Amino acid sequence: MSSFKPLVFSGVQPTGNLHLGNYLGAIRKFVALQESHDCIYCVVDLHSITAQLVHDDLPSQTRSITAAFLAAGIDPEKHIVFNQARVPQHAELAWIFNCVARIGWMNRMTQFKDKAGKDRENASLGLLAYPSLMAADILVYRATHVPVGDDQKQHLELTRDIAAKFNNDFSRRIGELGIGVEMTMGDETLNGFFPLTEPLIEGPATRVMSLRDGTKKMSKSDPSDLSRINLTDDADAIAKKIKKAKTDPEPLPSELAGLKDRPEAENLVGIYAALAETSREAVMAEFGGRQFSAFKPALAELAVEKLAPVAAEMRRISADRAYVDAVLRDGGERAGALAEATMKQVREIVGLLDD
Ligand code: AQP
> Tens-of-pLDDT digits for all 355 residues of the chain?
468 999 999 999 999 889 999 999 999 999 999 999 999 999 999 999 999 999 989 999 999 999 999 999 999 999 999 999 999 999 999 999 999 999 999 999 999 999 999 889 999 999 999 999 999 999 999 999 999 999 999 999 999 999 999 999 999 999 999 999 999 888 888 999 999 999 999 999 999 999 999 999 999 889 999 999 999 999 999 999 999 999 999 999 999 999 999 999 999 999 999 999 999 999 999 999 999 999 999 999 999 999 999 999 999 999 999 999 999 999 999 999 999 999 999 999 999 999 8
What atom in ligand 1 is closest to the CA of residue 15? 30
Catalytic residue ranges: 115, 217, 220
Q: How far apart are alpha carbons 61 and 51 in whole angstroms?
A: 16
Compute the distance from residue 243 Cα to the ligand 1 centre, in Å.
23
| Residues 136-148 as b or e (16 or more Cβ within 10 Å = b) | bbbbbbbbbbbbb
Global model pTM greater than 0.75: yes
Answer whether 149 contacts ligand 1 (Cβ < 6 A). Answer: yes
Q: Is the CB of 151 under 6 A from ligand 1?
A: yes
Indicate the angle between helix axes 292-318 and 58-72, nearest 10 degrees. Answer: 110
Q: How far apart are the first and last CA of the chain?
A: 27
Residue 208 Cβ < 6 Å to ligand 1: yes
Domain chopping of the chain, boundaries:
8-204+320-350, 225-317
Q: Which residues of 190-217 are buried (b: 16+ CB within 10 A; e: fewer)?
A: bbbbbbebebbbebbbbbbbbbbbbeeb
Q: CA 9, CA 162: separation in Å to the nearest integer?
A: 17
Residue 1 confidence (pLDDT)? 44
Look at residue 91 in the predicted model and tell me its pLDDT. 98
- In CATH terms, the fold of domain 225-317 is Tyrosyl-Transfer RNA Synthetase (1.10.240)
Task: From the CA of 228, give the closest atom in ligand 1.
Answer: 1
Is 267 near ligand 1, meaning CB less than 6 Å away? no
Q: CB of 197 closer than 6 A to ligand 1?
A: no
| Superfamily per CATH, domain 8-204+320-350 | HUPs (3.40.50.620)
Residue of the CA atom closest to atom 35 of ligand 1: 149
